[in-house]
Structure 1
């Protein structure tokens, strides 16, 4: 009777509960892995359409479309033979308590990072990046930020918990160096004459090559450790409709993947993919894009660190 459950499951419809079907861990104090996936089902800081709390589950389920391929095209190595990946499930918190979420996520992330593990986090709305940056800064010091987004998220007028204010607060807390940070895909209003970050706006990014974009990023970040955050609304809504604040004129999924591949060798020490809101998705387009971007980030990390 047990043979019914002994077969390796390569289907696209069964048991897709962890990222890339990798083992799940429940004790984060001792993790046998190089990289740990952590879901952050939080959208209490959302200003637009809600629902990003369901993003981690959607990304994991979409990842079954990627799990069957031993070598992800066009990479020339098998990721899961090069690195050990574990999924720590979702970070849990009392419903409706952003203060608890923020403080305890920082502690949980630090506990994982202090074991020498890299952390790949799935939002949730983009506010989750702020406590993640706080945790990473305690181990790595000041970092460069590589930020893919339609919005700069440097707005000062937001509330204490607001997914548009993280990169206003982060430099002031000494977490990131804006003069070594780059934002790619921006196509909404910001104060250009007072903006500290480098920007490659969406119009420019769509007109120049991925290699040129990567070169500008490399020149900007220098030799600082890099935290890479990817807001799925960097993509045009044609490629990622399932998000809270969609903005037309964004990048294609092909362009984004080419940019990421051109960043091989960059010292990425932490990464996240955020703002997937499945209720507004169509045919899993957004979730598949997010899972694929996360998969590419793991390849980038592996090239540098393993």
Structure 2
């Protein structure tokens, strides 16, 4: 059957078959945003990302020739959450992520990464390295008295032993934060690459820094869309100026092939604040680039 025109593409991400938890790669939406500290609305992110992905269904990767639609890929739809209950939602997300071979999740807020890491590390039997693109450290012990808000996800991940801090790198950091947060994060062994360092370097050099930090062994990939400058991703809850351009993020990700990624997420897309779908398209394309790393070259 001929490939449908883009505006008639299936709603599933890249046209993946539905609801097959045994697939080698699964996609799922995590519509949780009650732990956001500024603008809510990321609960609608998964649907927006899927819709924007229709632009990615009519060809292979322009550089490598990889075709992620050739992967054994299933779209599981939206995970269930516990309405109004952050700890309950995290528990449900972890339960639904358990046992999946390789999950690419669409947020939702960044807090959803915590249960995904809990499920992954239980499955593989130990902590992982972490490649984290973001404007924010997300290593606060709590946010305004809420222990599981989106700005505390990696404090929990580190203190729970879900990630190996010396194999963790944060790319694009630039938001205001207390000096104690930087001191604590670096003190755990985490590598922080501020956005200004990315701007003064090249995608190839930044990718080399990422590879050096993560090394060998299982790793996880987490991309908060507010890593991008609001000019490229206005549709998010906590925008920060001075961020990466979409081409910079794309250029770095394209050079991360061979890292032993076992799962990933793209989070914090809030389509109510988007303009002409540019944020959702950026998120969908970066997720597509991630899958292309696994699809190989042809």
Q: TM-score, normalised by structure 2?
A: 0.92
2:63 corresponds to: 74
2:52 corresponds to: 62
1:20 corresponds to: 14
Q: Distance in 2 between matches of 1:211 and 1:139?
A: 32
Query: Cα RMSD (Å) of the superposition?
Result: 1.7
> 1:9 Cα shift?
5.8
CA contact (8 A) 2:128 2:164 kept: yes
Determine whether 1:168 maps to 2:159: no
1:4 corresponds to: none
Deviations, residues 172-230 of structure 1 (Å, cap 9, x unaligned)? 10100111100000001343333231011000101101111111111111213110000
The match for 1:240 among 211, 233, 236 is 233
Gaps of 5+ in 2: none
Q: Distance in 2 between matches of 1:216 and 1:77?
A: 24
> 1:38 Cα shift?
0.7
CA contact (8 A) 2:142 2:149 kept: no
Mapping of residues 151-162 of structure 1, within 5 Å = 151-158=136-143, 159-162=146-149
2:95 corresponds to: 107
Deviations, residues 250-306 of structure 1 (Å, cap 9, x unaligned)? 0011111110011111111110000000000000000000000000010113349x9
Determine whether 1:121 maps to 2:102: no
Q: Distance in 2 between matches of 1:156 and 1:247?
A: 21
Count of residue correspondences: 289
CA contact (8 A) 1:265 1:303 kept: no
Report SS of the residue matched to 1:195.
Answer: helix
Q: Distance in 2 between matches of 1:157 and 1:92?
A: 24
Question: Which has the larger displacement, 39-48 or 86-95?
Answer: 86-95
Mapping of residues 262-281 of structure 1, within 5 Å = 262-281=255-274
Report SS of the residue matched to 2:130.
Answer: strand
1:133 corresponds to: 117
CA contact (8 A) 1:12 1:65 kept: yes
2:76 corresponds to: 88
